[in-house]
């Protein structure tokens, strides 16, 4: 049991990748404090994962006071924190930068980036006690960008930069800091994004095609990588942005090349 007696503070752990992480962490012996801002989502997760080893807390990662209290509640309940997994995130809107409103921009950065600031600010002293580690859920788009998704991509780029800087800052305390960077993963958030695309009917095939391994996966493939990174098996890994992409960074280029080739063939026939 890779996480036996470990206490994981997991944000956004009631659905999608976060819920898959919650399941595998619990199965690996961890105790969990799961934070979500949705009461409905918490109740649904509670029905699926019924165990005394999980504490559910309704809190918003973008609100400092909420996270400060959530950390206090977690330590009061379990006595310590070994890992903070910053998984909570939003992806709306799917727009070019000039079409993004100020409210939409602020919401993305408040949840995706300020959320990491808040959990670190209020949780770092607990991690110093346990020589624990931090895991951030990033994205491949933080490295390569994404069409009509500029603000979201910017938040994930920030996550990558934060991860590396935090790894340097906290290494003297024995605290590791890493990130996972998925590509397409079938989650409720991805399905919403899919419906916002200009040709929504073709998105499923597109997502399958961009992954070199030939399919867009479910969240369990990311959860397996997360389990490794927060466990002692990764005890000498820090500052790592681990792609869990099925080769999508290669697949994007493949799809683009296929499109260019199709255009060229069409022009040759004109």
Query: pLDDT tens digits for 148-174?
Result: 889 999 999 999 999 999 999 999 999
Tokens of 123: 């949780």
Confidence of residue 193 (pLDDT cuts 50, 70, 90): low
pLDDT score at 218? 72
Please write the tens of the pLDDT for every residue from 95-144: 999 999 999 999 999 999 999 999 999 999 999 999 999 999 999 999 98
pLDDT score at 208? 62
In the block, tokens 């105790």 appear at 31
Query: Is residue 191 scored above 70 in pLDDT?
Result: no
pLDDT score at 270? 53
Contact present, 5 and 28 (Cβ < 8 Å): no
Q: Which of 25, 56, 152, 170 is catalytic?
A: 152
pLDDT above 90 as % of the chain: 70
List CB contacts of 253: < 8 A, sequence separation 6 or more.
none
pLDDT score at 262? 47
Confidence of residue 263 (pLDDT cuts 50, 70, 90): very low
pLDDT score at 192? 58
Query: Is residue 255 scored above 50 in pLDDT?
Result: no
pLDDT score at 151? 96
Residue ranges and CATH numbers for the domains of the chain are 7-189+217-248 (3.40.50.720)
What Cα–Cα distance (Å) separates residue 180 from each residue in 175, 227, 243? Answer: 17, 11, 6
Please write the tens of the pLDDT for every residue from 17-57: 999 999 999 999 999 999 999 999 999 999 999 898 999 99
Query: Which is more confident, 215 or 69?
Result: 69
Look at phi and psi of residue 34 and say left if phi exceeds 0, alpha if psi is from -120 to 50, else beta: beta
pLDDT score at 63? 98
Q: Check if 252 is active-site.
A: no
Considering only CA atoms, which of 226, 186, 233 is closest in space to residue 11? 226
Residues written for the chain = 270
pLDDT score at 194? 59
**Rounded-to-integer distance, Cα 41 and Cα 62, Å:** 18
pTM score of the predicted model: 0.86
């Amino acid at each position: 049991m890779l996480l036996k007696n470990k206490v994981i503070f997991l944000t956004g752990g009631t659905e999608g990748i976060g819920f898959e992480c919650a399941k595998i962490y619990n199965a690996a012996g961890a105790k969990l404090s799961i934070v979500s801002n949705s009461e409905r989502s918490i109740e649904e997760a509670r029905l699926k994962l019924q165990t005394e080893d999980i504490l559910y807390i309704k809190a918003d990662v973008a609100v400092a006071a909420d996270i400060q209290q959530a950390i206090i509640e977690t330590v009061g309940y379990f006595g310590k924190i070994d890992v903070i997994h910053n998984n909570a995130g939003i992806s709306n809107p799917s727009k070019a930068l000039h079409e993004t409103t100020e409210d939409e921009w602020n919401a993305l950065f408040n949840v995706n980036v300020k959320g990491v600031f808040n959990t670190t600010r209020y949780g770092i002293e607990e991690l110093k006690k346990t020589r624990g580690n931090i895991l951030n859920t990033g994205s491949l788009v933080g490295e390569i960008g994404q069409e009509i998704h500029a603000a979201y991509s910017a938040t994930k780029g920030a996550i990558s930069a934060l991860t590396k800087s935090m790894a340097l800052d906290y290494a003297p305390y024995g605290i590791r800091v890493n990130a996972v960077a998925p590509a397409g993963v079938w989650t409720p958030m991805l399905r919403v994004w899919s419906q916002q695309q200009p040709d929504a009917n073709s998105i499923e095939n597109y997502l399958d095609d961009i992954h070199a391994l030939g399919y867009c996966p479910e969240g369990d493939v990311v959860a397996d990588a997360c389990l490794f990174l927060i466990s002692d098996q990764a005890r000498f890994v820090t500052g790592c942005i681990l792609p869990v992409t099925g080769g999508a960074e290669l697949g994007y280029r493949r799809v683009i090349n296929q499109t260019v080739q199709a255009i060229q063939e069409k022009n040759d026939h004109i």
